[in-house]
Amino acid sequence: MEVEATKKEELVPIFIMGKRYEVPASLTIQKAMEYAGYQLIRGCGCRGGICGACGTVYRFPGTYKIEVGLACQTVVEPNMYLTQIPFFPATKSVYEMEKITPSVETLVKHYPELLRCLQCNTCTKSCPMDIEVMDYIAAGMRGDIARLAELSFDCVMCGLCTSRCPAELCQYNIAILGRRLYGKYVAPRAEHLASMVQEVEKGKYEQMLRGLMDTDEETLKNLYTSREIEPEQADENWTPKDKTYL
């Protein structure tokens, strides 16, 4: 994507992999890299802080502190020395969900390094999503799968925690195992979902779906726009009358 600066826009110096560029001060790191001429083939996915592909490390002159952030969310600052780490090699265990149990033994069997955690909190300080990473690792060490799943829920798997961990844990893969265990064995079953699946399996909606598949596009559009919307989900800017947004 080509990004152009207006003449009046303030330019700031940044350093990408050691080379100096002047970029508009309002740009995110990702857009600044493109402005500087980089074509992002890797390290760029959703551009919205969701996919975790754009983990970036940077540092300012005169300080030892390494900063981290998502390139698509972090705005450039003068004299930022940066590089992206679009991929970080991480341990990734393979398991069959049917053959494991929601326990600390499972976590340790697949990620024995879990017990090397030093409780230094570097992972939490590295997380661009403000997740209490150290706390969910501690929950895993206690075998508290529900807490592990709950605390890690917003993880975008950018890998920045792992890149900084002195004990060499891969926190996000431990967390995804925890969430899988929670979903399969710990979370209460949704009874309405089970009955709905039964209805689908019995073919209750078969005829209706076949009818829709044979319907022309215009009729489908009309059906969609005039569908019943539950009040709490309705968009207040939506006017069913003229089928447009205000």
- Binding flag, residue 44, ligand FES (CB under 6 A): yes
- Binding flag, residue 70, ligand FES (CB under 6 A): yes
Q: How far is CA 44 from CA 39, 146, 176, 205, 207, in A?
A: 10, 32, 22, 40, 43
Q: Return the range that interacts with ligand FES (CB under 6 A); candidates 64-72, 107-115, 140-148, 180-188.
A: 64-72
- Residue 49 CB, nearest distance to ligand FES (Å)? 5
- Binding flag, residue 86, ligand FES (CB under 6 A): no
Provide the strand spans (E) within the chain: 11-16, 19-24, 55-59, 67-70, 80-84, 238-239, 244-245
Q: How far is CA 102 from CA 109, 139, 209, in A?
A: 12, 13, 38
- Residue 63 CB, nearest distance to ligand FES (Å)? 25
- Binding flag, residue 52, ligand FES (CB under 6 A): yes
Return the half-sphere exposure (C-beta side, CA atoms, 13 A cut-off) of residue 234. 13
- Residue 70 CB, nearest distance to ligand FES (Å)? 5
- Binding flag, residue 177, ligand FES (CB under 6 A): no
Q: Which residues bind ligand FES (CB under 6 A)?
A: 44-47, 49-54, 70-72, 156
